Structure 1
Amino acid sequence: MTTPVIELSDVSRRYDAGPPALQDASLTVRAGESVAILGPSGSGKSTMLNLIAGLDRPDSGTVTVDGVRVDKLGEAGSARYRRAKIGMVFQFFNLLDDLTVLDNVILPAQLAGMKRREAQRRAEQLLESLGIARHAGAFPGRLSGGQRQRVAVARALMNRPPLLLADEPTGALDSASGEDVAELLRELNAEGQTVVVVTHDLALAQSCTKRTVQLVDGRITADVVAEAAR
């Protein structure tokens, strides 16, 4: 059996005096899995993503990612953890418009201390494998939404993270570009990348992952593996 990449154990998180955003959630994701965390707005899926990414801490329970107790990290430790362990892809790309595509992709490696020549070689390989090498010298604003999301995926993979987190990765795309990104996520998982997609879109969850975890009112209500993946 493969090693767990994510282990949440009895995790709860409450904001202010309202109901829990996440309550007694336990989840294990193993290396090489593709999982969708699915739910409507307010279901707790963004809270779960933030806890996994070390952007927030639980009130109770433990969060372990690739052997790291994320819930025990301070601010500096959390930043180092994200650089080393997490690749994040966002709905609105979060690319820097004043940097070229190549420099956007290189940036995480530079922050991690990789030498420029080595980082550039790695970035060029990623852009080639993702089919956007011809845009290396362009600025993000000149690209289509689908192309910008491919740049964002390349950036997320730059430091070879054990976990790729995608937060509504097709939410800002037209249907054709969205299908293209879903296919890319499937291909990355087929190559061994552990992928977790956070979305409200059941069709996206079913198209690019093999397991769906349903959240309702902060609780996990279903955890289903697709028949083809059994």
Structure 2
Amino acid sequence: MTTPVIELRGVTRRYEGGPPALDDVSLTVMPGEAVAVLGPSGSGKSTLLNLIAGLDRPDAGTVTVDGVRVDRLGEAGSALHRRARIGMVFQFFHLLDDLTVTENVVLPARLAGTGRREAGRRAAELLESLGIARHARALPGRLSGGERQRVAVARALMNRPALLLADEPTGALDTAAGEDVGGLLAALHAEGQSIVLVTHDLALARSCTRRTVRIADGRVTEDAR
């Protein structure tokens, strides 16, 4: 029997005594699935993503990612788990401007203890497959927004993660670049990559996922395949 890549059971998260940001949420994502999480601002999307990534802890319930109870991990354990099993792509890239494209991409592998030569080979493969090998020695500031997001995706995939989390990955891009990144995510899904995409963009969700989960007021209101 296949083990889920994500399994949340009865997860609740409150902040400062207010209403729950997430309220008794259960969610299962199987390996190879691509899931879009949709909802208005303040619905709980970012809280859900942070709990899956181990950046936050639930007040109740369990969070299991790739067979590991991340809600039980301490700060150091969570960091190690993210580095080994989770790739993350953000709206504003979070690339280091004083490092070249290749240096940005190899960073997760070097932090994980991968040798320089092996990390370099993996980075070169990723840059080639994502169509940005020509920018390997460039600084991020010389690239377009779409190209920088491709670098961010390459970095997220560096350690061959079981799960890719994408938080509004087209939010800072123009329409053409956003469609380009959507196509990239769709291609990764077709290759078997497990993806959870948080977005306001229904067109993006439809272009690269086959399942949508809608959240409102901290609760899952729809789960459509």
Contact 2:10 2:25 in 1 (8 A): yes
1:196 aligns to what SS in structure 2?
Answer: strand
| Whole-angstrom distance in 2 between the partners of 1:59 and 1:193 | 30
1:176 aligns with 2:176: yes
1:5 aligns with 2:5: yes
> Map of 1:10-159 to 2, 5 A cutoff?
10-159=10-159
| Whole-angstrom distance in 1 between the partners of 2:221 and 2:207 | 21
1:189 aligns to what SS in structure 2?
Answer: helix
Runs (4+) of structure 1 exceeding 6 A deviation are: none
State the number of aligned residues. Answer: 225
Deviations 1:108-162 (A, max 9, x none): 0000000000000000000000000000000000000000000000000000000
Residue 3 of structure 1 and its aligned partner are, at CA, apart by 2.8
**Alignment gaps of 5+ in structure 2:** none
| Whole-angstrom distance in 2 between the partners of 1:2 and 1:203 | 30
Q: What residue identity is the alignment partner of 2:190?
A: A
Normalising by structure 1, what TM-score? 0.97
| Whole-angstrom distance in 1 between the partners of 2:218 and 2:103 | 39
Q: What residue identity is the alignment partner of 1:207?
A: S
| Whole-angstrom distance in 1 between the partners of 2:108 and 2:91 | 19
1:178 aligns to what SS in structure 2?
Answer: helix
Deviations 1:21-45 (A, max 9, x none): 0000000000000000111100000
Deviations 1:25-69 (A, max 9, x none): 000000000000111100000000000000000000000000000
Normalising by structure 2, what TM-score? 0.99
| Whole-angstrom distance in 2 between the partners of 1:38 and 1:183 | 19
| Whole-angstrom distance in 1 between the partners of 2:206 and 2:46 | 19
Match of 2:196 in 1: 196
Q: What residue identity is the alignment partner of 1:102?
A: T
Residue 201 of structure 1 and its aligned partner are, at CA, apart by 1.6
Q: What residue identity is the alignment partner of 2:18?
A: G
Residue 205 of structure 1 and its aligned partner are, at CA, apart by 1.1
| Whole-angstrom distance in 2 between the partners of 1:17 and 1:163 | 32
2:5 aligns to what SS in structure 1?
Answer: strand
RMSD, aligned α-carbons: 0.7
Q: Percent identity?
A: 78
Contact 2:6 2:27 in 1 (8 A): yes
Contact 2:3 2:67 in 1 (8 A): no
| Whole-angstrom distance in 1 between the partners of 2:17 and 2:202 | 31
Contact 2:165 2:196 in 1 (8 A): yes
| Whole-angstrom distance in 2 between the partners of 1:206 and 1:58 | 29
1:159 aligns to what SS in structure 2?
Answer: coil
Residue 204 of structure 1 and its aligned partner are, at CA, apart by 1.4
Q: What residue identity is the alignment partner of 1:160?
A: R
